[in-house]
Amino acid sequence: MDDGKPTPNWFERLLNRFTHEPDDREELLAQLRAAFERNLMDADALSMIESVLGFAELSVRDVMVPRSQMDVVRTDEPIERFLPMVIDTAHSRFPVIDGDKDNIVGILLAKDLLRYFHDPKNFDLHDSLRQAVFIPESKPLNVLLRDFRNARNHMAIVVDEYGSVSGLVTIEDVIEQIVGDIDDEYDFDETEDNIVPIRGSRYRVKATTEVEDINAFFGTDFADEDADTLGGLVLGAMGHVPHRGERVSLGRLDVTVLRADSRRLHTLIVTPRREAEPPAPEQDA
């Protein structure tokens, strides 16, 4: 019988399950997991709440892209030289350096390069730069997220206690710590092919591409006893979950990590090495 009272939502039902107020975070998590087991929330909701609870304990150094893996534009390079890198990496923002990575003079937005294609003769890199924001490694993620939102900024350069650049962090890096991996318009679509040629003899490959498909496409002979996918082969060869920019050789394939998070690989750049040509037979005198 309908008594006219609104039906409680999942959060209200969850609160009703708590017989007492949790004494600490571990007890709260235990109650949340018990609620999940009773089907009061789904796995995604539980995962997100767990991430939020641990979010304030993380700092910028926990999620930043290390200095060695930063994709940068150099002021002394002509646009024709760095444009292929911009296309291949498909980032929306690039630190611009003058000399080395400790001297960042600004941020280049990929969309600003449209002016180059419209009027290449009058394009000036320095006039297209946005101001770089610098933050310390120790900055809490929850504070950084608030600053990103207030300033409508999407990238910050991370510096250590001595003022040297140690990496960069984007708003996507921060949000992914709560909601998990975020696919954007530059990421693979699940309906697209696993192996896509990009430039020259290089290919952008999903880490989930099966070893059998890799062998068929590249003419390799990797065994699938220890790994089912290309990502599994890379993890086995490196012994850890690599960061973006790390490289490894698998047989005659050079593999570079294009996209990864702290848990898994997503996208790889594969460059087949050409077989060395056999020496020409000696001529009889």
108-125 pLDDT per residue, tens? 999 988 888 888 888 888
pLDDT number for residue 283: 53
The pLDDT, as a whole number, for residue 262 is: 65
Name which CATH class applies to 195-272.
alpha beta
DSSP notation for 212-243: HHHHHHH-----SSS-SBHHHHHHHHHSS-PP
Contact yes or no for 106/131 (Cβ under 8 A): yes
- The answer to whether residues 257 and 268 touch, using CB atoms and an 8 Å cutoff, is yes
Residues 144-197: pLDDT tens digits? Answer: 989 998 988 999 999 998 999 999 999 988 887 776 655 554 454 443 578 888
**Distance (Å, rounded) from C-alpha 218 to C-alpha 243?**
24
Q: Is the dihedral of CA 209, 232, 65, 176 positive or negative?
A: positive
β-pairing verdict for 247-250 and 104-109: unpaired
Range 62-179: architecture per CATH = Roll (3.10)
* Stretch(es) of the chain classified as CATH 3.10.580.10: 62-179
Rounded to whole angstroms, the Cα distance separating 145 from 187 reads 23
Which pLDDT belongs to residue 280?
A: 53
Residues carrying CATH 3.30.465.10, the chain: 195-272
Position 277 scores a pLDDT of: 47
pLDDT of residue 157: 96
Please tell me the predicted confidence (pLDDT) of residue 230: 94
pLDDT at 165: 94
Can you give the pTM of this predicted structure? 0.56
CA angle in degrees (0–180, nearest 5) for 232-255-260 = 60
pLDDT at 188: 47
Handedness of CA 67, 68, 72, 77 (dihedral sign): positive
pLDDT number for residue 249: 93
Residues of the chain with pLDDT under 50: 185-186, 188-191, 276-277, 285
